Structure 1
Amino acid sequence: MTLTTALGARRRKWDGAVPPLLRPLVRAYLLGYASAVAPRLLTLLLQHLTRRRTAADSPKRNGHHNAQSFPDSLLAILRGGLDPRRFPAFCAAVVGGSTLLELPLRAAFNKLAGSLSNVARIRLSRWFASFIAAWLGLRLLQSKQSAGFTEPAPVRPDSHLDAGRQESRYAGRTLDLTLFAFTRALDVIVGELWTRRKAHRLASQRWTRLEDAISRLVDPAVFAVSSGLIMWTWIYNPSRLPRAYNKWIGSAAAVDPRLIEALQRCRSGELQYARDTGQGRLLGAMCDDYGWPRHWGDPAVSVPFPCEVVHMGCGPSCEVHAVSRFARSFRWAMATYLPLSLLLAVRSPNRRGLIKALFSAARSSAFLGAFITLFYYGVCLARTRVGPHILGKHVEARQRIDGGVCVGAGCFLCGWSILLEKAGRRKDMALFVAPRALATLLPRRYDLSRQWLETAVFAASTAVVFTCVLENKARVRGVLGSVLGSVLEP
């Protein structure tokens, strides 16, 4: 029995009683519920275990409230997933709606567009069914108000309305989801066009090495550009990134926040070299903490700051600092990747699986370590090794380097560490960071009157992806294609 046959038989055991037309809806709802509830349940469990351990270490502490609140919190999470305006219902509406609407739309196209081929009518019915379902599904998700996207509206003194009931609502809560769908649709369209071009060029024996290199480098390039944009935003405009994303990058980068603030002030012009603008205290305090001469942190005296300040205690050598960064980042990443890899290896506990898990964790840790190292070394290249020889060593050049050029160099280099990962992982990671990079270019909140445009982009993008999955599942790359293919099949 093949793996596909075994998986199919296993699925029929639990959804065999469901009518074929409703199976995609049921699968989508259960998958959405699991993805929405499982992470919150895991977090709650870890918090509960931590509290119990703390209570055991401190017998005087009253743990009765925590013991009572755990079942209540558990029930609240399970009930929250059933809210009709949350992610599980959204998944069911999009997937189930596209399935249920396809047949009546196909019948309508058979009557109204009889001159079209049967294949064209099927594609049109699938696209419009998915478009309508995605539009309604996203509107359902957008109907739930969020505290971050509402605020009290200003009330005129002569107004007789209750000021407490007035509020301004903003759109943007579903922007990340829309950008995810948009990048996936763009990947499908560009990938299909490129595949047809390649087939035509190969048939005519005109496929070149340059085109082959482009095929292999497009995913690393997308990741590098996206990562660079995200890192630039993290340095200069962190409010455009989600809070959890900011926190994770800060933890991985392990940088003194005073150094980040100094770079921000250099770019804004608040901190200027060879001029006393009252900024000496910022890095002056950092110099005191690290045992450096205090004048290193005074921009009126030190033009520029010594690169040792960027190294944060690793000595004056940029190369030694790079090696040290890689070693520390590799250890930090292994603490995350190794347990996950070993957990996956438990499914087939043998020596080969263990070795594979170790190599997988080491490879991913090397990628992340190289990412962080290349960012810092890019900064050093621009500040010390290469930048001054190209842009000059005068005050204006130093200001320009620390005002953005050095960070830009780090952002340009860091993402190319993706070449250390396997080709299969590169495409998944590129498609993961691309929508997050696009989000840095758009406002996190915008006027509610323009929400229809976001909804239209999401609906059209989802329609493209769903139509492609039903006709050529392999064209939707990565894990998403496999998941949607298994959900949408009868």
Structure 2
Amino acid sequence: MAPEWFKSHPSLNNILNRIIPKTFQRPENDHPARIAVRTYALSLSLSLGPVLIPLLSEGRLNKKRRNNLASVLKKELSVSGFAFAMTAAAGGGAALEFYWKRFTKRLGQAARFKADAHRLAVLSDVLLRGTEVSPLYETFICNAITSLLAILLMHSRRRSSLTDRADIPLTVPIDELGDRKSSPTLDLTLLLLVRALDAFAQRFFHQHAEKVVDNKQAEMSGESSVDRNRLLRKKVAVLTDKLDAFVFWAASARIMWCFFYRPERLPRSYVRWIGALANVDERLLEALRRLRKGAWGYGKPESHLLLSTMAADLGYPHSWGDSLHLPEYGGKVSEASWKALGVHGRTGVGGLPCEIVHGGVGSSVISGGVGGSCAANSLARGGLGFLEALALYTPVHFLPVLLTRPKELLSSVVLKKLILSLVRSSLFLSVFISSVWSAVCFTRSWGIARLFPRLSHNFIDGPFGCIMAGCLVCGGSIWIEQGRRRGEIALYVLPRALRTLLSESWLRSGTKSLMAMERLAFSLSLASIVTASRHYPETLRGLSRWTAMFILKGMPRG
């Protein structure tokens, strides 16, 4: 919903009336000049905010910080900056469409004069037929042209080392990659591509739902008829929920697998954020990655002491982390090894003791001699994740209401709804974390490892064993979230998952064909989103709908 102060406060309109020339001043809120001003203001806040806030919050600005601030302002306020480029795309597309319609209108008027300007009438008629396309294609063509101009402007900018912020929602993922040959706008392009594909999917769902509802209503008559719009929304919601859940499950599985084995395919800041929530020792991650490459494993002398220091730091004997002494297989052959090592509770299975895998988290939270168990580890990590999620999601749920409708916080109904929504979001992240650990421990210690004791733990602990199980299970936690947030979370993680599917060598090649493909994807995706917002606004949702409605109409809804 649009903020109440935005609806009633006249300052923005006054500023626009002063900036826009008299010849352009019209009552329509979707005039190109107004679209350009709103686009620039929003884009500038998204590109500058995440960089300026840390710089200004550090207290007194020394010379280095002042230089950094000046550098950021120079880059973002330049013609090749994100704000100007997006203004050229949205405002330029609206202007191009505006003058296209005016041109065709004048051609139509000129073609009606038959007397003294016969040749001019014939020429106008030919031009009119050549420029006659549907309003939908007019919008798409105009915005595709200006979107291409926008990405060309951004590709001409110099790289910045101050824009590593891809893990922060509502920010612009530009210049994330460290290699200068990599495209600085790749993450932004993938984000727009995903939103455009979602608009196409929503359009398909609406068309399918309309056919189903119309057929159902045709079978009913009189008092048996039902509310068409209500049935339509319900049908679309069912289809959308299924797609959102599947997308999040597949995307989160891929992202988590890459976090363990291919972190270079994820934004560095995103890896740090996942690592903070997962709370996994770097030495254990290194062992998993070496196991995948064959440089570490049970019974192999290579790097066999890699986890010995980790075991000692946790208060266990060095030998518990020595892969040469740990049994590779389960069954009776492992009993002698566990007896010699002094490990209890792993009879019948091999591999690294779960006490080392847990990293001591369960023991540090739960006492009484049961803190080292797999169940205690999962519960402790779930509880810690819930608390971290509360801190993360509280501003997300309460800040929009506090800024736009503060009086509603005094209502017990609204407050209860916000608290329940906050708890659901926190529980979702908590279950996501704990389910990974539960699946890992079940696979390597209590389930698969006991059913198949002859199966090597080099496989069970490898990339297609317990880690894969954890990655596949955690995505099911999305059903805890509400429907709207379920879709927005799925659209948030999908661009990052798509990014991991692209070859690093190909992305860093810097070839002209690669740049051409990205520019084509960017321009078509952004043009599709703008076209959908103008002609099929019901196909946009969440952040993309709010942004498009604000830019085009000035009053975002829903």
- Category of TM-score, reference length = shorter chain: 0.7 to 0.9
Counterpart pick for 1:192 among 198, 203, 215: 203
Counterpart pick for 2:384 among 317, 325, 328: 328
| Contact kept in structure 2, 1:345 and 1:354, CA below 8 Å | no
Match of 2:489 in 1: 429
The C-alpha deviation readout for 1:351-385, integer Å capped at 9, x for no partner, is: 63655554443332222111111111121222123
Q: Does 1:87 align with 2:82?
A: yes
Size of the alignment, in residue pairs? 449
Q: 1:316 to 1:36 in 2, by over 3 A?
A: same
The C-alpha deviation readout for 1:177-233, integer Å capped at 9, x for no partner, is: 1111111111111221122112212322499x9998544221122112111111111
Q: RMSD of the alignment, in Å?
A: 3.1
1:111-190 equivalence runs, <5 A: 121-146=134-159, 170-190=181-201
Q: 1:211 to 1:8 in 2, by over 3 A?
A: closer
Identity of aligned residues (%): 30
Counterpart pick for 1:364 among 412, 415, 425: 425
Deviation at 1:446, TM superposition (A): 3.1
* Counterpart amino acid of residue 94 in structure 1: A
Task: Give the TM-score of the pair, scaled to structure 1.
Answer: 0.83
Q: 1:259 to 1:5 in 2, by over 3 A?
A: closer
Match of 1:393 in 2: 453
| Contact kept in structure 2, 1:276 and 1:300, CA below 8 Å | yes
Counterpart pick for 1:301 among 325, 334, 356: 325
Deviation at 1:6, TM superposition (A): 6.7
Q: 1:195 to 1:351 in 2, by over 3 A?
A: closer
Aligned partners of 1:454 and 1:116: how far apart in 2? 30
| Contact kept in structure 1, 2:200 and 2:539, CA below 8 Å | no
Q: 1:190 to 1:116 in 2, by over 3 A?
A: farther
Match of 2:359 in 1: 312
Aligned partners of 2:289 and 2:69: how far apart in 1? 43
* Counterpart amino acid of residue 545 in structure 2: G
Aligned partners of 1:441 and 1:129: how far apart in 2? 32
Match of 1:281 in 2: 305
| Contact kept in structure 1, 2:428 and 2:480, CA below 8 Å | yes
Name the SS for the 1:282 alignment partner: coil
Between 1:438-447 and 1:23-32, the stretch displaced more is 438-447
The C-alpha deviation readout for 1:294-321, integer Å capped at 9, x for no partner, is: 3322223323112222222224422221
* Counterpart amino acid of residue 438 in structure 1: L
Which residues of structure 2 form unaligned runs of 5+? Answer: 25-30, 109-124, 162-178, 220-230, 329-350, 363-370
Aligned partners of 1:477 and 1:6: how far apart in 2? 21
1:5-20 equivalence runs, <5 A: 7=7, 10=10, 11-17=12-18, 18=20, 19=24, 20=31
Match of 1:446 in 2: 509
Aligned partners of 1:309 and 1:350: how far apart in 2? 49
Aligned partners of 1:388 and 1:290: how far apart in 2? 24
Name the SS for the 1:403 alignment partner: coil
Counterpart pick for 1:241 among 259, 262, 266: 266
The C-alpha deviation readout for 1:63-87, integer Å capped at 9, x for no partner, is: xxx5566666555544443111111
Match of 1:477 in 2: 541
Q: Does 1:99 align with 2:94?
A: yes
Q: 1:9 to 1:337 in 2, by over 3 A?
A: closer
| Contact kept in structure 1, 2:32 and 2:98, CA below 8 Å | no
* Counterpart amino acid of residue 458 in structure 1: F
* Counterpart amino acid of residue 266 in structure 2: L
Aligned partners of 2:467 and 2:239: how far apart in 1? 27
Q: 1:354 to 1:385 in 2, by over 3 A?
A: same
Q: 1:285 to 1:342 in 2, by over 3 A?
A: same
| Contact kept in structure 1, 2:195 and 2:544, CA below 8 Å | no
* Counterpart amino acid of residue 469 in structure 2: A
Q: 1:216 to 1:113 in 2, by over 3 A?
A: farther
Name the SS for the 2:151 alignment partner: helix
| Contact kept in structure 2, 1:345 and 1:357, CA below 8 Å | no
Q: Does 1:41 align with 2:42?
A: no
| Contact kept in structure 2, 1:169 and 1:448, CA below 8 Å | no
Q: 1:466 to 1:241 in 2, by over 3 A?
A: same
Q: 1:68 to 1:270 in 2, by over 3 A?
A: closer
Deviation at 1:117, TM superposition (A): 12
Aligned partners of 1:169 and 1:418: how far apart in 2? 36
Q: 1:201 to 1:489 in 2, by over 3 A?
A: same
Aligned partners of 2:396 and 2:487: how far apart in 1? 20
Which residues of structure 1 form unaligned runs of 5+? Answer: 53-65, 149-167
| Contact kept in structure 1, 2:52 and 2:69, CA below 8 Å | yes
* Counterpart amino acid of residue 275 in structure 2: G
Aligned partners of 1:359 and 1:277: how far apart in 2? 53
1:13-92 equivalence runs, <5 A: 13-17=14-18, 18=20, 19=24, 20-48=31-59, 66=61, 74-92=69-87
Aligned partners of 1:184 and 1:382: how far apart in 2? 36
| Contact kept in structure 2, 1:98 and 1:133, CA below 8 Å | yes
Deviation at 1:285, TM superposition (A): 1.2
Aligned partners of 1:169 and 1:5: how far apart in 2? 44
Aligned partners of 1:376 and 1:435: how far apart in 2? 25
The C-alpha deviation readout for 1:101-133, integer Å capped at 9, x for no partner, is: 114445569867977997x52111111111111
Q: 1:481 to 1:345 in 2, by over 3 A?
A: closer
Name the SS for the 2:181 alignment partner: strand
* Counterpart amino acid of residue 310 in structure 1: V
| Contact kept in structure 1, 2:209 and 2:235, CA below 8 Å | no
Aligned partners of 1:343 and 1:215: how far apart in 2? 27
Q: Does 1:407 align with 2:467?
A: yes
The C-alpha deviation readout for 1:38-95, integer Å capped at 9, x for no partner, is: 22221112222xxx6xxxxxxxxxxxxx556666655554444311111111111111
Aligned partners of 1:434 and 1:368: how far apart in 2? 17
The C-alpha deviation readout for 1:417-475, integer Å capped at 9, x for no partner, is: 22222111111111111111101111352323120111011111111111111112221
